[in-house]
Structure 1
Amino acid sequence: MDYLQHLLIPIVSTLLLLFLLKSFRNSKSTGKYPPSPPALPFIGHLHLLKSRLPTSLENLAKRYGPLMRIRLGANEFVVASDEKSAREILKTFDADFASKFMPGLTNFHLYEDSSFIGAPYSDYWKLMKTLCMTRLFTGSQLDRFIGIGEEETCKLIKLLLMRSKAGEPCDLTEELSEVTNNMIYRMIVGRRCSKNLGQAAEIRNFILDSLEHAAKFDLGEMFGPLQKFDLFGNGKKIKSALMGYDRLIEQIMKDYEDNDLNNCGNDHEKDVMDILLETYKDTNAKVKLTRDQIKNFFMEIFMAGVDTIIAAIRTAMAELINHPNILKRLREEIDSVVGNNRLNDESSASKLPYLQAVVMETLRLHHPSPILRRLSRKDSKINGFDVKKGSRVFINIHTIMRDPNHYEEPEKFKPERFLANRAEVKGQDFHYIPFGSGRRACPGSYLAIPVMHLVIGALIQCFDWEVKDGDKADNKAKGSGYSGACPSPLMCYPNARFDPFQE
């Protein structure tokens, strides 16, 4: 015990001295910086974040303003919580905030410095963004993905019809997880492996394991003084899951390479793996892709795509079940446009404005990723305050898309608000930025929106929904609001009302 005391005293004294020196330097600064709540030594403002991160930041912003500073452990953040600040960061000074920062969970990442979603603004990021916008998620690839989505949706409806006939409940979240995972798997490696959906299930399990353990980290472990320590073994479990994923994706990549990569014609015939391995093998490329970058890119597609699409569809269905009048109005629109002799498909979406409004309202009220991350590349002045180069920035879209000055009754699920006032999904209306805006806007919107239209429309067209063991579906957000918590189960009975496959 004496030894431990002698060891701790100099450590604590040193940390306290560093804290006081930093506080003194900040107090001598002449810049006009955003306001900040009183902080505690070492932990900063972690003690003020008592609920989910978006909600805690929203409550602090009500006291300290729409642009404020908080400190989580040794890391300081600027938090933007209003439309004006978001517009300046994401549009006016977009180039100055074109980089992102990664949380402390990167300590347990298998592919260090290989992220596309979290990459700094660099030649690698520019290459991948160009590929996404010109070859991976557009044109023939997008058409192919929509075709895959329609096929997998048919499989989902057939499965639910069997459940209905047997009078069995289903976990709609689990069913959505499988169909969405299969969609993305077939989009990535469909040319070689479309019949081997067992691999899709393996990848899904590895990803779910890593997300489950990542969700167990609290904010102190992600950003605070303990971020480099794996106190409860969750970091080790994340690495173990990612190693399983690595073995599987390496096997798939080798299968492509062993089966003559170049024996494929135009982009219409290629899948995403074809295109990336082609870029990887290009000896004339100015920016060389690594195998780790390709593996990490696919993992991020699964993490960002599968988890967020499932969460969005699940919350939309829960809201519709809990609001029967809205569900009735949506069903009447689908029946009048699509009819009773075919299943809803992507071609119908443009003729279903209320379905589009339901999707938009779901993303406004229950966005799966309620906080955007940015890293300032130079000194800037935002909303009248100085933001230093290297500042980490949170943009709280949870708060921005609930602004009572712009949305009447912002906490209520009211799709009709988007019939009278159509917001721009692509991020030009800064009251509504579910996919971000500017250079770092999410390219996945081109995939996510069609899938939501397709699946939600089919589920409402074909079934009446009854919650198992209750009248209302649980739609409360789980997790910290920052880490990748998996969507919670939604147990219900799918009672068939229309069978599009009946001859």
Structure 2
Amino acid sequence: MTIMLASYELFSIHTLLLALAVSAMTRLLWRARQRRKIPLPPSPRGLPIVGHFHLLGPLLHQSFSGLSSKHGPLFHLRLGSVPCMVASTPELAREILKMNELKFAAREQTAAIHLLTYNAGFAFAPYDAYWKFIKKLSQTELLSPRTLGQFLPVRSQELHYFLGLIYDKCQFGESINLTRELLKLTNNIISQMMLSIRCSGTDSQADACQSVIREVTEIFGEFNMSDFIWFCKYIDFQGFRKRFEGIHRRYDSILENIMETREQSRKKKREGGTGQEEEINDFLDMMLDVLEDPNSEIQLTKNNIKALMMDFFTAGTDTTAIVLEWSLAELMNNPSVLEKAKQEIKNVVGSTRLVQESDTPNLPYIQAIIKETFRFHPPIPMVTRKAVEEAVINGYRIPAGSLLFINNWAIGRDPEVWERPMEFYPERFLGKTESEAMDVKGHNYELLPFGSGRRACPGISLAMLELPIAYGPKLV
């Protein structure tokens, strides 16, 4: 009798578990069916294998803008095997980057990015404990107000070098390649803050480092068929893999030598009893401190440090130089704006000294010029994210794994968002109350030069220190 009761109880438990499993499966199938009822965003007609690549030109943001005018502010493309969504309004940007931020907290890694950042960087890392640790380290140490203040002499010195070069060229009536020299200016600031080296034409180590970083920046922006068409993943049609593997070897060799030299220097200082606190530590020193700290929340590796250096170099050089170059071009094309800028600097700073970082709060028109350049010529034309889970945006289904592009360039030129959008008009940012004023920190989705939310660019403070002071000497 006891055996029969036990068997009956066991049968009942199995029946209950089976019923629960069937119920759960039924619920999952029902939810999947309901999700399928939610449509994907509109899409143009694609082709087999290549998808919609045939509709795109070399400037993706401009191609996307043209497609948006035909298919709406949120549309769907298939780039080879990769599903992509493109959003082109501030409202959609807000829904994606704020209301559904965690669903779009990842960034796509191409084969080049994966290798060149050692799969250990910050910019393309998944939203996990390591990413959170580096973000906190950036805000409290690497890019904190205290650290940026310590490097003020470096920024001032590099600006003086730049101005001296321009003065010498003018004295002899020689032309100057501003694109190249602005890149050198921003490169040298980052190089000194990162590694305490600068490109002077005599330091082969610094020159080699900056040369390879230039190649990295270029290859990150190039199209690699293997990243988008699934059956090409392991076929190097374009010789792309061979190129970025060569760049990686050279970068790794340069950074390994720099780090080894620095570690030996730090060891000698410790053995000699000279405190490093007497000097200003650069970023490499700060990260080596974390590497050597057994109590660190996250244990960094040398590859982490090399990858972080890559992140900072690629993010902190081209973007600042591009904004400076575009703003100077617009000032030359708009004499009335140039005259107002010159007058503001003369009134606030005078003509006997250079603009200093402490002058920035008193130069609202210069700040308005910078914001207008961000609007009209965003250094990063599109904010990119990757969906880590399925989401519904504006009534459309965004599948997990989709790439998502927020078209900053198109938003900045949209007549429904901006009055006179095709005119360079800094005054649009003036005369606002504190609550109406538009910032560039990701709170106003009409203007997102640094992105928004958790994955916004942490270098915004450095960029907004560098940009205003570069105007004064050129305008007065």
What's the TM-score once normalised by structure 2's chain length? Answer: 0.85
Structure 2 counterparts to residues 171-320 of structure 1, below 5 A: 171-190=177-196, 198-215=204-221, 217-218=222-223, 220=225, 222-225=227-230, 226=232, 228-260=234-266, 264-265=275-276, 269-320=280-331
Answer yes or no: is 1:98 the counterpart of 2:74: no
- Which residue is 1:473 aligned to? none
Match of 1:362 in 2: 373
Q: Whole-Å Cα distance in 1 between the matches of residues 163 and 148 of structure 2?
A: 22
How far apart, CA to CA, are the structure 1 residues paired with 2:206 and 2:412? 35
Identity %: 35
C-alpha offsets along residues 262-308 of structure 1, whole Å, 9 cap, x if unaligned?
66555983221111111112222342212112111111211111111
Answering whether residue 446 of structure 2 is matched by residue 431 of structure 1, we say yes
Q: CA RMSD, aligned part only?
A: 2.5
* Equivalenced residues, count: 434
Taking structure 1 as reference, are residues 350 and 382 closer, same or farther at Cα in structure 2, changes over 3 Å only?
A: same
Tell me the distance in 2 between the aligned counterparts of 1:231 and 1:420.
55
Amino acid at match of 1:383: N
1:159–1:193: structure 2 CA closer, same or farther, 3 Å change rule?
closer
**Corresponding residue for 1:84?**
91
CA distances 1:157-215 after superposition (whole Å, capped 9, x unpaired): 1111111111111001111122211111111122x889985433221111123334555
Residues in 2 aligned to 1:249 and 1:104: alpha-carbon distance in whole angstroms? 21
Q: Is the 8 A contact 2:327 2:370 kept in 1?
A: yes
Letter in 2 for 1:271: D
Distance (whole Å) between structure 2 residues aligned to residue 69 and residue 94 of structure 1: 19
Q: Give the AA of the match of 2:410.
A: T
Hey, what does 1:385 align to over in structure 2? 396
C-alpha contact 1:182 1:200 (8 A) present in aligned 2: no
Give unpaired runs (5+ residues) of structure 2. Answer: 1-31
Look up the equivalent residue of 2:416 and give its one-letter code: N
1:423-462 maps to which residues of 2 (within 5 A)? 423-461=438-476
Specify the SS of the correspondent of 1:68: strand
1:374 alignment partner, SS class:
strand
C-alpha contact (below 8 Å) 2:184/2:199 kept by paired residues: no
Q: How does 1:35-50 map to 2 (within 5 A)?
A: 35-50=42-57
1:136 aligns with 2:134: no
Q: Which has the higher helix share?
A: 2
Judged with a 3 Å threshold, the aligned counterparts in structure 2 of structure 1 residues 219 and 233 are, in CA distance, closer, same or farther, namely closer
1:206 & 1:423 partners in 2: Cα distance?
A: 37
Q: Pick from 138, 144, 158 the counterpart of residue 164 of structure 2.
A: 158
Write the distance in 1 (CA, Å) between the matches of 2:212 and 2:473: 29
User: Which whole-Å CA distance do the structure 1 matches of 2:307 and 2:36 have between them?
Assistant: 41
CA 1:281–1:193: 2 relative to 1, 3 Å:
farther
Q: Distance in 2 between matches of 1:209 and 1:352?
A: 36
Cα distance in 1 for partners of 2:198, 2:89 equals 46
Aligned partner letter, 1:373: T
On the 8 A contact 1:110/1:243 being kept in 2, the answer is no
Q: Which has the larger radius of gyration?
A: 2
Q: Name the CA shift for 1:163/1:273 in 2 (closer, same or farther; >3 Å).
A: same
Structure-2 separation of matches of 1:197 and 1:449: 29
Secondary structure at the residue paired with 1:349?
Answer: helix
The Cα shift of 1:105 comes to 3.5
Could you say which residue in structure 2 is the equivalent of 1:486?
A: none
CA distance change for structure 1 residues 357 and 222 in 2, over 3 Å: closer, same or farther?
Answer: farther
> How big is the shift at 1:390?
2.6
Q: Distance in 1 between matches of 2:76 and 2:234?
A: 23
